[in-house]
Amino acid sequence: MDETRLKELLARVQAGSTPIDDAFAELRQLPFADLGFAMVDHHRAIRQGVPEVILGEGKTPEQIIGIARELARMKQNVLVTRIDVDKAAVLVEAVPGMKHSPAARTCTLESSTIPSLSDAKVALVSAGTSDMPVAEECAETMHMLGVGFERVFDVGVAGIHRLLHKRPLLEDAGVVIVIAGMEGALASVVGGLVDVPVIAVPTSVGYGAAFKGVAAMLGMLTSCASGITVCNIDNGFGAAFAAARILRAKGRAGKK
């Protein structure tokens, strides 16, 4: 149950169209459902604005299906991250309406309309084509969070003129997410061009001394562009959530 459905339920009780016992029957399913192998958090959408997300990595297809069905039963939207092609095929067949994005390694089910979180958009910037899986995971997550975004792909520092060509878009963004491997320098460059929050995501792309993303992460953490926020290696999902938190907080501040 999310905030919108809870308010609708309370409004029906207040108007007298829904008996208290019926409302109690709906609410008794909060805050979680015990599936034996998972405690599905139905209260999370009320606390954080979005339902629980399923990490597909490390779970069996049956476990993923069970959690997804439980979320769908409560009319909550479903996002599964880090799911491989074989598991995704089983999930799509088992849960009607489930969609698979191979590029993002995600599966999604939109049971309810996703409201727009903010008028401000995120500029989703990636250094190279090899960084696209992480960028697309970020994009799919932002879509499910109601965050508007524009892709700015393949604009790494090896051809900096490609990035500068997109400078007006960067300056108009409410948040910029920068996804880069190798030495991770793109985050510093973007951080020096804009005055909005910059969220950097190091990727595991790069040759030996890149240490599977450690070099990019350390470069981003020691950036000379002040105030950059750095997520974990390959964590496009985390960057999307960070951007959503920033935009949600800005929206609340604007209403005061």
Give the burial string for 105-117 (b: 16+ CB within 10 Å, else e). bbbbbeeeeeeeb
Give the pLDDT of residue 36. 82
Give the pLDDT of residue 31. 74
- Residue 255 pLDDT grade (very low, low, confident, very high; cuts 50, 70, 90): low
Q: What is the pLDDT of residues 66-121, one digit of tens each?
A: 999 999 988 889 999 999 999 999 999 999 999 999 999 999 999 888 989 899 99
Q: Please list the residues that pair with 108 across neighbouring strands.
A: 79, 99
CATH topology of domain 122-255: Rossmann fold (3.40.50)
The answer on pLDDT for 141 being more than 70 is: yes
Q: What is the pLDDT of residues 109-130, one digit of tens each?
A: 998 889 898 999 999 999 999 9
* Per-domain boundaries in the chain: 3-109, 122-255
Q: Please list the residues that pair with 229 across neighbouring strands.
A: 199
For the chain, the average pLDDT equals: 90
Quote the pTM value.
0.85
